[in-house]
Amino acid sequence: YTGLLAIRRYHEANGGGNRNVCLIPQSAHGTNPATAQMLGMKVVVVKTDEKGNVDIEDLKAKAAEHQDRLGALMITYPSTHGVYEEGIREICQIIHDHGGQVYMDGANMNAQIGIMQPAEVGADVLHMNLHKTFCIPHGGGGPGMGPIGLKAHLAPFAPSHAVTPVEGATEGMSAVSAAPYGSASILPITWMYITLMGKQGMEQATQWALLNANYVAKKLGEDYPILYTGKNGRVAHECIVDLRPLKAESGITETDIAKRLMDYGFHAPTVSFPVPGTLMIEPTESESKAELDRFIAALKSIRAEVQKVQNGEWPKDDNPLVNAPHTAFNLTDGEWAHPYTREEAVFPLPYVRENKFWPSVNRVDDVFGDRNLVCSCPPMEAYEG
């Protein structure tokens, strides 16, 4: 919001008060259009091609169509499809040529730190999500908290603060948040991370993040299609595992697989974002090879389980996948009427036995839960008397 606001103010100061069109690629995170809406901008969606990249012809057409009102492009690099968009420089140039500014969503800085500079490829603004690349807990202290980088021409349009004026911000630009620098209890975590890692360590973290994602993509690519890769068959810091073909063949869904991962001791990675029916895996630099190998083994074993359903060894409606996750209660229940063993249910691989995580309940219907919010606040009458 702060970054886009600086762009709006910049246009207003330069006779571009009508520049309220914001181009956003189809692959963007929902926070992008939501932010543009909050600023009263008109969102125009840019298509993505079959390789997952921004459709440059469509971008050119839309930039030209709206050139008198073009305010900004919001772009994520590498894209949420997990690929370094090769056309990034050209994309930024097209926007600049049509009078717009480039806002880069910095959620994927884990693939940039130490190896490239966003400003150098053409970004005018970049938001560094500290909970994505810089170690703070996700959501702790407010999702999205972090510094906003602005190119020099935008600096005067940064928000200032009544108590702690921001150096260089033009007078009259009011604050966007109560605390001038964000949460004092959260930000030292990032400061310590950067200080302890140093320049070389930060660069190495990026390299490990890329290596880990490519290791996972290569290994899992033996069993599942990896949806998008660059021209050398590589991904950036995350990869999308496509579960849709398997679902079509076997009836086993992405939810079954996500829930089954709990029996193997894993919290599922991102499910159905940015592409429905897929898993997006972002190992980051912080997982050891042993942990990655356990995770890969779990997904390979799950693939073999799906095969048993496909072969008819296990019925479609009674197998460890559709019944996942399994609890300690299931294990100790006197009755066991399933066509697979209790061991197959709760200890599907040897490593699980050594360090078992027990899900406390069986499957929760996520979609039902998301759509049926329950207010647990007691009504006023509860306080009477």
Amino acid code (one letter) for 291: E
Strands (E), the chain: 21-25, 42-46, 70-76, 101-105, 125-127, 148-150, 239-242, 270-271, 278-281
Shortest Cβ 290–ligand PLP spacing (Å): 27
Selected binder of ligand PLP within 55, 85, 105, 263 (CB under 6 A): 105
Q: Does 233 bind ligand PLP (CB under 6 A)?
A: no
Question: CA quadruple 367, 364, 284, 202: dihedral positive or negative?
Answer: positive
Shortest Cβ 378–ligand PLP spacing (Å): 30
Nearer to ligand PLP, 47 or 338 (CB): 47
Shortest Cβ 31–ligand PLP spacing (Å): 4
Nearer to ligand PLP, 32 or 323 (CB): 32
Q: Which residue has the tokens 């407010």?
A: 142
Task: Output the furthest CA–CA distance in the chain (Å, rounded).
Answer: 76
Q: Which of residues 59-88 bind ligand PLP (CB under 6 A)?
A: 76, 80
Q: Which of residues 113-132 bind ligand PLP (CB under 6 A)?
A: 129, 132
Q: Which of residues 23-62 bind ligand PLP (CB under 6 A)?
A: 29, 31
Nearest to 53 by CA among 279, 209, 217, 230: 230
Q: Does 107 bind ligand PLP (CB under 6 A)?
A: yes
- Contacts with ligand PLP by CB under 6 A: the residue count is 10
Coil/strand/helix, residue 54: strand
Amino acid code (one letter) for 204: Q
Question: CA quadruple 19, 23, 24, 26: dihedral positive or negative?
Answer: positive
Which string of DSSP letters, residue by residue, matches 299-319? HHHHHHHHHHHHTTSS-TTSS
Nearer to ligand PLP, 105 or 256 (CB): 105
Instruction: Give the integer Cα–Cα distance in Å for 176 and 173.
Output: 9
Shortest Cβ 109–ligand PLP spacing (Å): 10
Structure tokens at 363: 């499957």
Selected binder of ligand PLP within 52, 100, 118, 144 (CB under 6 A): 144
CB 151 within 8 A of CB 163: no
Shortest Cβ 218–ligand PLP spacing (Å): 23
CB 200 within 8 A of CB 276: no
Shortest Cβ 127–ligand PLP spacing (Å): 8
Nearest to 204 by CA among 137, 80, 110, 77: 110
Nearer to ligand PLP, 105 or 124 (CB): 105
Instruction: Give the integer Cα–Cα distance in Å for 135 and 285.
Output: 11
Nearer to ligand PLP, 22 or 107 (CB): 107
Binding mask 196-215 for ligand PLP (x = CB under 6 A): --------------------
Binding mask 145-164 for ligand PLP (x = CB under 6 A): --------------------
Selected binder of ligand PLP within 14, 68, 115, 143 (CB under 6 A): 143
Contact positions vs ligand PLP (CB under 6 A): 29, 31, 76, 80, 105, 107, 129, 132, 143-144
